[in-house]
Amino acid sequence: MSTALPLVGVALLLLATGLIGFYGLRVSRTTSDFFVASRTVRPVWNAAAISGEYLSAGTFLGLSGLVLLSGAEAFWFPVGYAAGYLLVLLFVAGPLRRSGAYTIPDFVHARLDSVVARRVTSVLVLVIGWLYVVPQLHGAALVITAVAPVPPWVGSVGIAVVVSAVVAAGGMRSITFVQAFQFWVKLTALTLPLVLVLMALGGAFEPGGAAVTFDPATVFPHDAGPGGLDAYATASLLLALLLGTTGLPHVLVRFYTSPDGGSARRTTVVVLVMISVFYMVSSTLGLVARVVAPDLARPGVADTVVLELPTRLVPGLGGEMLAALVVAGAFAAFLGTSSGLVVALAGVVSQDLFGGTVRSFRWSAVACTLIPLAFALVTIPQGLVTSVGTVFVFAASALSPVILLGVWWRGLTARGAVAGMVVGSVLCATALLASSALVASGYGAGPAGETAGGLPGVVRALLAQPAAWTIPLATATVVVVSLRDRHGPPLRTDRFLRRLHVPERRRS
């Protein structure tokens, strides 16, 4: 792959992002513009922006790489990601918009009338957000080293600088324009190469060329097919992906930008369509790679498969231009997700520590970018999909039970919410850290039914995929502590729940 064209593609993307961000700065005037785009974003536009931030490095690069490595097992990730939005549609999109909050801690405070619950929620939101930003910066480092002879930190620092500048300049209104644009860049950057790669496999670029035969035994070998999946690990993963979406701060905050609850629900339906199309394209590229690029099926290398396929299969300048388009799309993925996360985190920090002014929002945006950047520069990137999956597990264990019960259960109390968030986050973090330590020490290898170093395989499975037990324990903690709380729920709970569940047009 040549260096010049990909760098030109990235430069054009950054230029377009800067120009769109500058336009957002011109129309961002009020505090509400910076925090929730004055709640005026229409469904289709908002859906494109949500899809632009949701489809991260883990999806753009990592999903195809995971399909290359794991075959059918990898399909549970897009299924879980998309189905998670179905839960958002059914249970939280409309009520969260009707709450009138700016951030998730705002919602928890308004629901429970507790400063302590708000502070705990704020800490968890920051942890989740920073954990999600780090894979985006790792992905930028991976791509920049694949296309240019520069140090990895160049990609991470470049993304951090652009994101902090655009977010600080125009806030949520500016980022909405940027993310909507970047979604269409990402979709085009994978769809066009996929079409041309499939044409190349059919012999379209060579006179009399023979089409490649897709043997099911090659695409789905027996040990990677559905029959070889571990039932517990699959169920636990799906539970984490389903419920994790309802605990991601950058996803939920976007519903506050809708004009009303009905608009928020319509937005979610459009999001489901958009991300499903994207997942189909990305997964198909992974299947193609299993046939034509099996040499890339190595950890740390598989995530580059979408960068390599165009130049391998499309000859000459056309392949180089496609590769440049994919690189630009990858940077759009890093920018879109990182921007959404930084907006959500800056809103929390500004509201909780500095009174929620525009000036404090801007400084908070810079700080919320520098912290994950520092962490990304001193850590070694793992698989992008699995890194993002870890964030879903943590969000599902720490925040999702409180958010769902806060919307639907009258008996939730502040003490119950705090206890559930602490138990869920501590249990999940402990399990994931223990699993990482076991893998690093060589105890994590081998099938789930075997033992390694005297440790039963079932214990390793429970630690590697803890959602199946951390989420129920966190939920049970919330319920039990709330029921035993002598103070009970706040006195205005019924009025607040009525506001969440009664459509705006029906209120008296």
Question: Span 199-211, mean pLDDT?
Answer: 60
pLDDT at 226: 41
Q: Give 369-381 pLDDT, tens digit per residue.
A: 999 999 888 876 6
pLDDT at 402: 96
Q: What pTM, to 2 d.p., does this model score? A: 0.83
Question: Span 169-188, mean pLDDT?
Answer: 85
Tokens standing for 35?
A: 């925090």
Tokens standing for 274?
A: 């958009």
Q: How far apart are CA 29 and CA 47, in angstroms?
A: 23
pLDDT at 291: 84
CA 83 vs CA 65, 86, 141: distances in Å: 21, 5, 30
CA 229 vs CA 76, 106, 234: distances in Å: 10, 41, 7
298 DSSP 8-state letter: S
pLDDT at 1: 57
pLDDT band at 84 (very low <50, low <70, confident <90, very high): confident
> Does the pLDDT value for residue 32 go beyond 70?
no
114-123, 222-231, 479-488: which range is least confident on average?
A: 222-231
Tokens standing for 139?
A: 């992905």
pLDDT band at 339 (very low <50, low <70, confident <90, very high): confident
The rounded mean pLDDT for the chain is 82
Torsion of Cα atoms, 425 then 426 then 428 then 433, to 10°: 130
For tokens 């928020």, the residue is 264
pLDDT at 127: 92
